Amino acid sequence: MPTDLICPACETTYQAGPNEPWRCQCGRALEFSERPHPEGDPLSLSQLDTSDGLWTFFEFIPIEPHVTFHEGFTPLVDDEEWNAQFKLEYVFPTGSFKDRGATTTLSRAVELGVDKIVEDSSGNAGAAIATYAARAGIEADIYVPAGVKQSKLMTIQRADARPVRVEGSRQDVTDACIDAVESGDGWYASHAWNPAFYAGTMTFAFEVAAQREWTVPDAVVLPVGHGTLLLGAYRGFSLLNEAGIVDEMPRLLGAQAAGHAPIVEAIGGDPAGEDDEGAGDTDIADGIQIELPARKNQIIEAITETGGEVIALGDDPIEAALDRLHRNGFYVEPTSAVAPAALQQYREDGTLAPDDDVVVPLTGSGLKTL
């Protein structure tokens, strides 16, 4: 039986089904009523059969694996030059960590008997949802900004999904998509709103812990747009603590793009970027230009609860980090360079000590931005 939905604010519950609401009547994002975790000690990495990828951790996921490409268990590599461990989240079937959420979201759609989904995205999430919808045999409309990169549009079209181009801001794209959902035009497979997506992104934390023989790093530095990976990491590490598998939380250190930094603004930092004069409005990191994150309060809570911080970066440090990554064999897209650029700044301003043990996800492939 698919798990029901509950509102964490007003505690209203909603029965699972193809016509379940996409958010609570009070306006908040919904959560699953079940949060399972296994009992007892986990297997060491050498004993763990990881051939099912992120579904290796099925005991933590309240969804059956109906739609999968055996994605996940991405490499965790030591990088001496950056003095950090990079988790290669661009090594996924559609080239970004969004596949973590797409496999669980479309698996949930199959459980519910959904026949059409809609999603809005600037690129990676749309490509992921479209590809998994194709595997599921579910019709998909993907709302995209009119100026979406051709290569990301191609991924959507090749999956036989219908791209719906919307003029205006990224928020206009979301608004158009929500209008379609409200008029009954499909189940909202939203990477921002749907709890199924976060049931997938939390596997990031399980993999990091397992790959480190069930320890957590001192900190994880992540890019923050809608916070899908940051919240997934927070939920995953929290669940590992609740299960008694680890007994610490890593600090979650966020990285946003200057001029598109609502979390930095909410916490009291400088949303224009503090690193170079007049960073202003940064356009290079198109994957995280989100002005109204659906789960803004949860993102702030995850950062403050773990003793984390969030900063905004301008074009210059992002471009410098991107060049350095490419020279070192990490062929990622510009948005992926925001977190390593932030890592450098956190080290320079003393937020991170030189010997702090840090994991940084590299979130999306550079091949799709050609």
- Considering only residues 5, 6, 24, 246, which one is a binding residue for Zn ion as defined by CB under 5 A? 24
DSSP calls for 308-353: --EEEE-HHHHHHHHHHHHHTT--B-GGGGHHHHHHHHHHHTTSS-
Three-class SS state of 108: helix
Site string for Zn ion, 270-309 (x = CB under 5 A): ----------------------------------------
Residue whose CB is less far from Zn ion, 10 or 353: 10
Say how many residues touch Zn ion, by CB under 5 A. Answer: 7
228 contacts 191 by C-beta, under 8 angstroms: yes
> Using CB under 5 A, which of the segments 19-27, 74-82, 247-255, 345-353 binds Zn ion?
19-27
Give residue for tokens 């980090």: 321
Answer yes or no whether residue 117 interacts with Zn ion by CB under 5 A: no
10 binds Zn ion (CB under 5 A): yes
Is the Cβ of residue 30 or residue 299 nearer to Zn ion in the bound state?
30
Question: Helices (DSSP H) in the chain: which residue ranges?
Answer: 98-112, 124-136, 150-158, 170-182, 195-201, 203-211, 228-242, 262-267, 296-305, 315-327, 338-348
Quick one: 33 exposed, middle or buried, by C-beta within 10 A (0-12, 13-18, 19+)? middle
| Member of 5, 6, 7, 322 binding Zn ion (CB under 5 A) | 7
Show the CA angle centred on residue 357, arms to residues 354 and 360, nearest 5°.
105
- Residue 26 interacts with Zn ion (CB under 5 A)? yes
Q: Assess 367 for contact with Zn ion (CB under 5 A).
A: no
Which residue type sits at 144? Answer: V
Q: Least distance in Å: CB of 8 to Zn ion?
A: 8
Closest distance between Zn ion and the C-beta of residue 5, in Å? 10
Pick the piece of the chain touching Zn ion (CB under 5 A) from 20-28, 65-73, 161-169, 235-243.
20-28
Residue 154 binds to Zn ion (criterion: CB under 5 A): no
Given strand 13-14, what is the order of strands in its sheet? Answer: 13-14, 5-6, 31-32
User: Whole-number minimum distance, CB 182 to Zn ion, in Å?
Assistant: 17
Collapsed DSSP state (helix, strand, coil) of residue 206: helix
Task: Tell me how far, at minimum, the Cβ of 33 lies from Zn ion, in Å.
Answer: 13
Positions that interact with Zn ion (CB under 5 A): 7, 9-10, 12, 24, 26, 28
